[in-house]
Amino acid sequence: MSKKTCAFLLATLILGARQLPGQKFRTDDPIHADDDRLDTPQEPAHIRLSDAYDRFGHIFHDFGRSAIGSEAVNVNTLDEVPNSTWFTNRHSIKRMSVEELQRGPNRSAGPHPNETWTVFKGKSQGLTPGFEVRDGKGDRYVIKLDPVDIPELSSAAEVIATKIFYAIGYHVPENYIVRYHPDRFEIEPGTQVEDQFGDQSPLTRWRFRRMIRRVPRLSDGSMRLTASKYIPGIPIGPFRYHETRSDDPNDIFPHEDRRELRGLRLIAAWTNHDDTRAHNTQDTWVNENGKGYIQHYLLDFGSTFGSGSVDMQLPNLSFQYWLDLEQVKKNMVGFGFVVPPYRHVKWPEFPEYQAVGRWEGTYFDPEGWRNDYPNPAFVRMTPRDAFWAAKLIMSFTPEELQAIVETGEYSRPEWSQYFLKVLIERQQKCGRFGINGVNPLDELRVTETGLEFTNLSEKYGFVDDRTSYRVSWSIYNNAADTVEAIGEAATQKETRLSLPTGVLTTGEENLFLGVDIRSLHDDHPEWNKPVRVYLRRRGQSYQVVGIDRES
C-alpha cells in the first residue's frame, strides 16, 4: 500500500468524522482553522505541467481516486471549510464592508502611473503582447492587455473576478487596472522578448513600441492595462485538482475531495470561469519567520464572465467541454437535429456590448455549465458541496455586487449595468440550484429562547414560506455513538425550537443533544431528509457543535 494511499485513508474521514465510536466530536470541535503550516524546511520541487497531457488526460481519464458521489473530507463537524493555506472564510463569516470588497486582495494602490516602470521580460505572441515590469518601489507585476479591438474586456473581467474570489475566500493575486503612458516604460538592459515560436531576441525600445503600437490609447495617450502583482513566496508550479503533493507534509487531503475545490465548480459557473484548471493555479513556498509552508492560489481570471482573455469568450465553452465526448456522440448520430445547447443562446448586441463579451444569464444553467475540460474536483461536487458554495454565492447583496462591478471601471455605465444584471441573474440561479438541492436549513444558533435556524430557500425567495418542520429530539452518546430518542416527533411552522429541559446536566461531557429536522414542502420532497444538529452543553447553555446533512 503506497504512502499516498495511507494518507488518503487517513484523510478520508478525519475532519468530518462521522462514524467513529466515541470519536465523533473532539473537544475542540468544530474547528474553524486547520493549521496546515507545518514547517516545510526544504524548498519543494518546482513542477511544470503539460497543457496537452492535462487536457487530454482529463478528457479521457478520471485522475481522482475517490468514488463519484463521495463527500468532501476536509470539512469540519459543521460541514464547513476551516481556514487553511487553501481557503480563508471571509465575506460569508464576517461581512466585509463595501470598501473591503472593492479593495479585495490589494494591499496598496498598485504601481503608480507617474513612476517609471522597467520592463524586464516580454512576449510578443499573437496580436496581444504581454510583459513584466518592475515599478518604482521594486515590486514586480505581470502586465496584461485587453484584446486590441475590444478594450476593457479582459481587464474588467480579471479585476471583478479577483474581488469576488477573494471575498469568497480563495487566495488570489493583487490585480490592478492602471492607465499608463507608454512613453514612461524603460527597458532593462538584457531583456529578451519571446516570439510566437518561442525564440528569444533582445527587447529594444523600438521593438517594444512596435509590440504595443496596436494597443488602444486613451484620450491622454495612456493605455489601460492590468497589473498583476507577483504573489509572495517562491513559485513552485501549479496545484493539480487531484491527489496531493508528495513533498508537502501539510497536503493530506486529496485535492479532488477538498470542499473548496469541489464547490469552486458552482462559483466558477456563476462567474463563468471556464479556465479552472491546474494551469491557472499557483503554489508558492512561503518562508515566514524561518518556517516554510506552501500557499495555494488561483490565478488568471482573464477568461471569466464574457471574456475569453484574448477575445470574447467562445460561444460553446461553458455550455460544453472543449471536447465533450457525450455531446460529440450525440451530434454524430443526430444528423444536425441534435442542436448543441450553446447554439440557442442569444448574446448581447455586438459590437455595442463587446466590452462585456459573451455574458448572459437567460440560458445559463448551473448544473449544465462546463469548464474547459473535466476537473476531478468538479465532477465530484455533491449536493452538500453545492450547498456550501451556494451559501457563499448568496452572501453577496446586489449593492455589494454593484460595488465590486464598479472596480472593473467600465467606461460606459450601460456596460456595468448589464454586467451586474447578468451577474445577479446567475447568482440567483446558482443559489437556487445549490440551496434547493438539499434540506436547506442553516444558520443554526442557540439563543435565549432555544435553537433557531433559517430556511435559506425561503430566505432568498426560492420557495414560498409554506415549509413546515418535523422535529424529533434525541440524546447522542459521543462515547458509544448511540442515539436515544426523547419524546415524540412534532411538526411545526416556526423556525425556533425550544430546547428540552432537564435532559442533560453539567459534567456529562459525552452526551449531546441531537435534533433531526425534516423540512416538509410539497415542491421539494427531497427536503424530507433530516438535518441532524448536535448541541453540546456549555455551562448553562448549549453550543451547536455538529451538523449532519444528507445529500
- Give me the least distance between CB of 343 and other proteins, in Å please: 4
> CA 398, CA 400: separation in Å to the nearest integer?
5
- Which three cell numbers, joined as nine digits, stand for 73? 473530507
Q: Which positions from 481 through 510 interact with other proteins, judged by CB under 8 A?
A: 481-482
Q: Is 411 in the site for other proteins (CB under 8 A)?
A: no
Q: Is 203 in the site for other proteins (CB under 8 A)?
A: no
Total number of residues that touch other proteins (CB under 8 A): 74
Binding piece for other proteins, criterion CB under 8 A, among 1-9, 225-233, 368-376, 432-440: 1-9
455 and 400 Cβ atoms separated by less than 8 Å: no
**Four-CA torsion 62, 68, 72, 73, nearest 10 degrees:** -80
| Exposure of 278 in the CB half-sphere (CA atoms within 13 A) | 27
Q: Is 17 in the site for other proteins (CB under 8 A)?
A: yes
Residue among 91, 121, 134, 245 that touches other proteins (CB under 8 A): 245
- Give me the least distance between CB of 28 and other proteins, in Å please: 4
Query: Which residues, at least 6 apart from 498, have a Cβ–Cβ distance to it below 8 Å?
Result: 449, 450
Residue among 68, 218, 339, 485 that touches other proteins (CB under 8 A): 339
- What letter represents residue 430's amino acid? C
- SS3 category, 285: strand
- Which three cell numbers, joined as nine digits, stand for 334? 443526430
Q: Is 335 in the site for other proteins (CB under 8 A)?
A: yes
Residue among 344, 445, 493, 538 that touches other proteins (CB under 8 A): 344
State the residue for C-alpha cell 461581512.
Answer: 95
Q: Which positions from 422 through 481 interact with other proteins, judged by CB under 8 A?
A: 479-481
- Give me the least distance between CB of 307 and other proteins, in Å please: 18
228 and 280 Cβ atoms separated by less than 8 Å: no
Q: Is 44 in the site for other proteins (CB under 8 A)?
A: yes
Residue number with CB closer to other proteins (68 or 339)? 339
Q: Is 11 in the site for other proteins (CB under 8 A)?
A: yes
Residue among 48, 94, 107, 346 that touches other proteins (CB under 8 A): 48
Q: What are the angstrom distances between the C-alpha of 360 and each of 303, 434, 492, 539?
A: 15, 20, 41, 53
State the residue for C-alpha cell 442533560.
Answer: 504
Output the CA torsion sign for 304, 306, 307, 308.
positive
Q: Is 1 in the site for other proteins (CB under 8 A)?
A: yes
CA nearest 257: which of 154, 375, 165?
Answer: 375
Residue number with CB closer to other proteins (69 or 337)? 337
Q: Is 67 in the site for other proteins (CB under 8 A)?
A: no
Q: Which positions from 91 through 150 interact with other proteins, judged by CB under 8 A?
A: 124
Q: Is 61 in the site for other proteins (CB under 8 A)?
A: no
Q: Is 269 in the site for other proteins (CB under 8 A)?
A: no
